[in-house]
Structure 1
């Protein structure tokens, strides 16, 4: 009898602990995540609210998210979310800045009143051309059909967009139902690679010091003997800052989750983290580094309005990326680690800029040597898989010693990648003159093999002695493999 009583009491205590943990730790994260992701999916990506909740929020995610109630206000372009009336969070849409988390209606009003006015971007359409005669059309179509297909009865792959540029022109693109060439889609951590590009633009325009100089962070420089004051732009770009930061999306208490969905200032939270290793000593991929660089760009920009215009004026306008937007935290800092949206075609322009060594329409946008710097490992890690906010190989495809796993598909040695949560990818292959974009909502690794996908496509194209210097521009030209919605 005593044992049964003890088991009963223990069960009750465990249940109470789970409920307490939900309301203390999980509910705030769940409400913020649901509000923010749904807001972006509806008002930035243009998806129906039911699809935004069922796919972008709930699909293959933590089942506890289903306990979060969401309300969409189409007129005021806001989304609110709460757990049984507690821990309510809001997200508000603003032109040019996408969606931002807010605490209440007064906070929403303040955010709206601080929205900058940015001149609209004139779109520069990519040219579309026919598939080269030497490329096997049937084989390519089979690859594209497969990537859009589902491997099982239950949807898990959820590819939303695929696009291939060859020599600067679109040769094939496919879109899921309800997604078009005009649909902006999230890149998650591909945003990091774009922020590298913003820094490259600033470097080219003389707006920042040398990348090997200490990064300008007021909090670090203001404190005597703060070891963080020695961290350089280069070390942050290469994920070798030594800052203590946990990058686990499945742990609601991890730094990356707290930074993106709980803390009022993503950049401020990242800046506040303490030193764990000496700068340059250890590679540790983390989103905090990108948001520290966001804070640095704010300090280098002088005024808030200049800072908020940096991505648009330095990058999106020259490339004609009309759809592109990087979202901010509630304090007005770009979340440079995670929250950029753009159409597949506009994402591809970033890759094409790197394929063309930083030159666009005959104008040098990135410094000479920037692309080589970005796509090369740190000197102390010649066999590394990471450059400067770009991947040099696909993570997970190497063993603990850094060697390629047996039986994996080969990729061209010069390929490099922008990668993001939920299976986002931008692949640049200079030797093939290829840029490949794949966007979707793929949360299970086994549902889609990116390495095989990129390898299979690249194997269809001939090697090219030198990279193309085409400058994509002009009207779209429809071709036999052109836009599809299958």
Structure 2
């Protein structure tokens, strides 16, 4: 009887460990994550059959992606590639732009620079750039912190286009009182360059890109710094984020900072952290709008998902509860958009059919 009781207790403990309180599998421990070699094209794979996924739904997923103007699609489970597919005249060697999905690279470097003591995101931007980086009155400009840039609540006018020259950065509201999707976040790249006494690209390459074996470069497009790379580089960054900023045994992005970055950063747009979009919140705002929409950002996606979203459906989805990182690059799936689109929810319908 005692042996039988011990077996039952052990079984209950195992079930408790393997499932979270909401019934989803708990994330795999960090020590079991796979990381591809930095200076190699090698990347281990795992079969969807071994994961118990519905392989009959894989081809419909890939067909949908191709129909929706996708160029590449990667799914990682526990760091290993489950699906890697190229379409519409794209390949693993070709590069594509991250658009605003690359905002999260600026988030990452801000955390690294703060950990190195080069800056404090709670400090005002003018501490690093001097006064006059906007057209706002000095007393209003001095309200804008680095954290405001990362949270999209600088209070600056978002209707003047992509140019972030001082004459286009007009005061609309006090920092922290208005959320607006705005390219003024790139001023954080200037802050980091000034604080590090390096160019933005030099600091990025040294502190992040080269440490995890990414490829790619920043390209100036109309005054904005846009990252271009192959799809695997985007997946490597997603893997780094899913590993809480750690690559193998090296902590690259501080974990506490990354936790803050993927948590609601202000009380206006609940679905926004530090340039990361957050699913599962009660309401959300969208680019170029001051309207609040009730409900979760992407209903079909897991509630704990956070995402780097770029113009015309560049995507990095990170789903801790499912040990998944998913990357999509390509042209717009459902008409030109700046971040979230109907494509997100429809794509997740296809993904769910596959992984469930």
TM-score interval for Structure 1 and Structure 2 normalised by the shorter chain: 0.7 to 0.9
Residue matched to 2:236: 349
CA contact (8 A) 1:126 1:345 kept: no
Task: Kindly report the root-mean-square deviation, in angstroms, between the aligned alpha carbons of the 2 structures.
Answer: 3.1
Q: CA 1:455–1:207 in structure 2 vs 1: closer, same or farther (change >3 Å)?
A: farther
**Cα deviation code 1:170-195 (max 9, x no counterpart):** 11011114311121111111111111
Q: CA 1:459–1:202 in structure 2 vs 1: closer, same or farther (change >3 Å)?
A: farther
* CA distance in structure 2 between the aligned counterparts of 1:389 and 1:361, rounded to whole angstroms: 25
Q: CA 1:180–1:213 in structure 2 vs 1: closer, same or farther (change >3 Å)?
A: same
Residue matched to 2:46: 129
Residue matched to 1:320: 213
Q: TM-score, normalised by structure 2?
A: 0.77
* CA distance in structure 2 between the aligned counterparts of 1:410 and 1:399, rounded to whole angstroms: 24
Residue matched to 2:82: 171
Following superposition, the deviation at residue 402 of structure 1 comes to 2.6
* CA distance in structure 2 between the aligned counterparts of 1:356 and 1:373, rounded to whole angstroms: 15
Alignment partner of 1:255 out of 161, 170, 180 = 161
Larger Rg: 1
* CA distance in structure 2 between the aligned counterparts of 1:292 and 1:175, rounded to whole angstroms: 34
CA contact (8 A) 1:163 1:438 kept: yes
Gaps in structure 1 of 5+ consecutive residues: 1-120, 151-156, 247-253, 260-265, 463-486
Following superposition, the deviation at residue 295 of structure 1 comes to 1.6
SS in 2 for 1:327: strand
Residue matched to 2:146: 233
Q: CA 1:399–1:235 in structure 2 vs 1: closer, same or farther (change >3 Å)?
A: closer
SS in 2 for 1:414: coil
Residue matched to 2:180: 284
Following superposition, the deviation at residue 414 of structure 1 comes to 1.0
Following superposition, the deviation at residue 355 of structure 1 comes to 0.7
Q: CA 1:455–1:392 in structure 2 vs 1: closer, same or farther (change >3 Å)?
A: farther
* 1:219 corresponds to 2:113: no
Alignment of 1:21-420 (within 5 A): 122-123=39-40, 125-131=42-48, 132-148=50-66, 150=67, 157-208=68-119, 210-215=120-125, 216-220=128-132, 225-246=138-159, 254-256=160-162, 259=163, 269=165, 273-288=169-184, 290-304=185-199, 307-322=200-215, 324-328=216-220, 335-336=224-225, 339-381=226-268, 384-393=270-279, 400-404=291-295, 409-420=299-310
* 1:454 corresponds to 2:348: yes
Residue matched to 1:81: none
Following superposition, the deviation at residue 454 of structure 1 comes to 2.6
**Cα deviation code 1:323-374 (max 9, x no counterpart):** x2111368xx8x34xx111111110111111111111011111112122111
Q: TM-score, normalised by structure 1?
A: 0.57
Gaps in structure 2 of 5+ consecutive residues: 1-37
Q: CA 1:224–1:273 in structure 2 vs 1: closer, same or farther (change >3 Å)?
A: closer
- Pairs aligned (count): 306
